[in-house]
A and B are shown apart, each in its own frame.
Chain A
Amino acid sequence: DTAVSQTPKYLVTQMGNDKSIKCEQNLGHDTMYWYKQDSKKFLKIMFSYNNKELIINETVPNRFSPKSPDKAHLNLHINSLELGDSAVYFCASSQGGTTYEQYFGPGTRLTVT
């Protein structure tokens, strides 16, 4: 049973395209996150949702738009992809807000050419 799942696992696309990444968790958690891990392996928070409400929105270009249709799902849509968007994107979830343990999905490796 996969706790936090993401699709797709790999995404290769050209500059200027629009793409989406989907995340689902079956842990019953109320908080979900998107993180970006760049080529230097630095993991940085992008967004956080608690019960479908946006609670953290870091300094991220507005080409990135998260959407949470329900508390088990958090999707990430990226418009006008740029070379610098190439990274691994991780979804995570936790129960009780941002204070507690987070559990990560397997990641989506995005390559923009």
Chain B
Amino acid sequence: QKEVEQNSGPLSVPEGAIASLNCTYSDRGSQSFFWYRQYSGKSPELIMSIYSNGDKEDGRFTAQLNKASQYVSLLIRDSQPSDSATYLCAVNTRGTGGFKTIFGAGTRLFVKA
């Protein structure tokens, strides 16, 4: 089982719709969860971090965490064409040397104008 799993997509939504991105993880001891956005040819850019169960909102973005189900999601409201990118889920997980951040393979999002 992969440590962090995401649907690779592509996920296609019309402009103005809600985009829902999902991620599951395998380490029950994980404490930190992140969403990064990566445009083609660019570096990952932090969008949201979440550390406790529930929802966390920042502008058009909402991160949701459910540790019991080992599930974290990102909702993008009022999607814009500029949101088209790959979204990477990252989870802090235990390794031999301590905690390390494991990235999922990413979900490609296309927002159609």
Contact = CB atoms under 8 A, between A and B. Distances in A.
A56 B39 CA distance: 27
Interface string B20-61: 000000000001101000100011111001000000000000
B95 to A, nearest CB: 7
A98 B106 contact: no
Given A41-B86, A41-B105, A101 B99 contact: no
Nearest to B97: A56
A39 to B, nearest CB: 13
Contact of A55 (B31, B98, B103): B98
| Secondary structure class of chain B's binding surface, majority of residues | strand
Interface residues of B, number: 24
A48 B100 contact: yes
B65 interface: no
Given A104-B43, A104-B45, A107-B43, A42 B95 contact: no
A102 interface: yes
B9 to A, nearest CB: 12
Interface residues of A, number: 24
B92 interface: yes
Interface of A: 33, 40-45, 48, 55-58, 90, 97-107
14 contacts: A42-B103, A43-B88, A45-B101, A55-B97, A56-B95, A58-B100, A99-B32, A100-B32, A100-B49, A101-B49, A102-B90, A102-B101, A104-B45, A107-B43
> Lowest 8 A-B CB distances belong to which pairs?
A104-B43, A43-B103, A98-B99, A56-B97, A99-B32, A104-B44, A107-B43, A56-B100
